[in-house]
Structure 1
């Protein structure tokens, strides 16, 4: 390690001006060399951070990882390094600082790490932390982590989670469908919240058709019309698959004629789209 540190010091001594001085340089060749040093400086800084961990040096870890403390990710990295050397209490504090930094995605990442550390070291405090994180960043993912942390106490928090998720229809539906496994709730939320995301509607139809096969026909119809809004082969193929699915779901019911009439009307409306006609033929939509 002494030899390694010596080599790093020699590399550092051979560097040109600091990055802040580059703009004042006038010689193009010197400017190029100074710019090339940036990568070397990056590697030296990385080594300084790792060596601080090797040395189990708390002050060095904070100095090299947190730097000027102006970026949430740096506070998160400080927490990770402190946890690596067993300073878990300090790690929790620094992760919390990262979470409190702002409302950005880096703070959300730090908040997730803060909750993970609490779950490992202070499990009684995790649920309150997960609630705080969800309230600041309501989403399907933060809701699911809260649900897991709540365990048997989840029913007491259910409404507190579902209501705020309504501000983002997609998150509300995804949470109900994929995390709660409740297709009926997801279906109700999708309609009440006026979900517009076609990808989520498509997933929801696949799950809800087991509950009410005929009930999904209006949604499938809307998805078909969305597929055909633009002239492109992928949309034609998707529409043909959905129409074939509609025909299968309606088979033997009083909705069969409705589906057949829709197919006929679409063929007529788009008679000048030969690719669409071919895709419908291949799907057996005659």
Structure 2
């Protein structure tokens, strides 16, 4: 009995149809037969491996690993039996043959639904040059009907393990990624209630999975964020009935206040158009009920904040996000919320207050940028430089130095004495940062600054400085190479041995360039003698070509 004759025994009709479409679309690749085993790869949501024998089958897709005869197995079986007749043809250029027992393509085309046939047509047209606009229109009208999409979401997103370890979690994320992309693409043009419910199903199942996953890589979390963004985009395009708007509010509130998860948030203010005034009122009622149980709950406070932004009252915004305005972060939160609510003038005002109240706080960056942006927009370049200079004086760092230098140069207010004074201040608190800045611009100045703070410059930066210095004055680098090697070898460690060997190799090259190789050989001999009880160090020297 052939595989095609066994398909109905092995799986259901919908899976057979999908597999047949995969085969006809040219998704089966690298088909081989050897020792009674048929193997291939199939381009599904990712590339899956399939193997078929006389009495066994296997696919590494999420469905296949459960032991099911999946659509990828169907595709390989069809491709194997019908060969080129089952592979994709540019249907835009060739007529579909009438059903006939002698025609392999027609064997599976006969009986396919109109939606499945349209899907196949779109996939074939995508391969025809010059048809991009037609494909875009066809995708809007025909590709992946919502019932099929709902089935795919249910099949692909539903968790099938009690726990997903790191590898399993990443495999899950890889498996659902094509559907995530499809949902993102469709959200740009679809706003129906049915589509919203499908996206909600995907989000719910993805959240169920991440709650039982090691998502150290963050892939699943990022996908859920993207699905939430897609849901919002679709909702903003929607025109829902009162009943559907109420269902949407029910899901939004359940997702936020059910207690099943507390790390993904809904910006309810951005759903105001979709749910309407009645929906907002219902959401507020549900929020009040959740607050009555735990007013300090993070989800409750976040939802309150979004509604405060939606209402737009400045005093309420300041009270909710800033409280007593005791720290720099309080001002940052207030400024961000005022910006979102459309109060640009008030945002600048509170940014200035925050900068004045906490001039030395490291968190002031966003407030400084807001003040600078406002001043620059008004053409007040003197104010821009003054704000930058004050920020550097209170919080000297490479970041504030570069910002001051850039804007002062643009305003024509940067001199050599300014550079020297700010550099001296920076070198006191961050000598490495100052040397690194100079290293990228002024070799001699960087070298001098490094000598002044030799013990505060790490090996990596010293290596860069020495490599640059060796091009102009190689002899001067030798004492510093020797010092670094001695410092590195204080600790017996394989990585330290590798670093020491690399430094010695660079030192040898510098000595050769300076014409003083014998001096290097004396240093190397001394280092070998002092470390003669470290065989692993000698292994690294041999790898570096420094000993036999």
Q: What TM-score results when the alignment is normalised by the length of structure 1?
A: 0.81
Q: What TM-score results when the alignment is normalised by the length of structure 2?
A: 0.45
Runs of at least 4 residues off by over 6 Å: none
2:310 counterpart of 1:50:
no
Counterparts of 1:44 and 1:233 in 2: how far apart (Å)? 52
1:109: Cα distance to partner?
A: 5.1
Q: 1:176–1:183: 8 Å Cα contact kept in structure 2?
A: yes
How many residues matched? 264
2:361 aligned to 95, 104, 112, which one? 104
State which drifts further: 141-150 or 83-92: 83-92
Q: 1:212 to 1:109 in 2, by over 3 A?
A: farther
Q: What residue number does 1:225 align with?
A: 486
2:501 aligned to 240, 245, 267, which one? 240
Residues 73-110 of structure 1, C-alpha deviations (whole Å, 9 max, x = no match) = 12112112223344333222222332334333223554
SS in 2 for 1:249: helix
Q: 1:140–1:174: 8 Å Cα contact kept in structure 2?
A: no
Q: What residue number does 1:197 align with?
A: 457
Q: What residue number does 1:115 align with?
A: 372
Q: 1:69 to 1:214 in 2, by over 3 A?
A: same
2:415 aligned to 155, 176, 184, which one? 155
Counterparts of 1:67 and 1:143 in 2: how far apart (Å)? 32
Counterparts of 2:308 and 2:524 in 1: how far apart (Å)? 69
1:17: Cα distance to partner?
A: 6.1
Q: 1:115 to 1:207 in 2, by over 3 A?
A: farther
1:221: Cα distance to partner?
A: 1.6
Of Structure 1 and Structure 2, which has the larger fraction of its residues in helix?
1
Q: 2:474–2:510: 8 Å Cα contact kept in structure 1?
A: yes
Larger Rg: 2
1:282: Cα distance to partner?
A: 0.5
Q: Which has the higher contact order (CA 8 A, sep 6+)?
A: 1
Counterparts of 2:467 and 2:347 in 1: how far apart (Å)? 44
SS in 2 for 1:153: coil
1:55: Cα distance to partner?
A: 3.4
1:230: Cα distance to partner?
A: 0.2
Q: Which runs of 5+ in 1 are unaligned?
A: 20-37
Q: What residue number does 1:74 align with?
A: 330
Q: 1:76 to 1:88 in 2, by over 3 A?
A: same
Q: CA RMSD in A?
A: 2.5
2:530 aligned to 260, 263, 269, which one? 269
Q: 1:84 to 1:207 in 2, by over 3 A?
A: farther
Counterparts of 1:122 and 1:267 in 2: how far apart (Å)? 65
Q: 1:115 to 1:223 in 2, by over 3 A?
A: farther
2:436 aligned to 174, 180, 188, which one? 174
Q: 1:120 to 1:193 in 2, by over 3 A?
A: farther
Of Structure 1 and Structure 2, which has the larger fraction of its residues in strand?
2
Q: What residue number does 2:443 align with?
A: 183
1:8: Cα distance to partner?
A: 4.3
1:116: Cα distance to partner?
A: 4.3
SS in 1 for 2:415: helix
1:64: Cα distance to partner?
A: 1.8
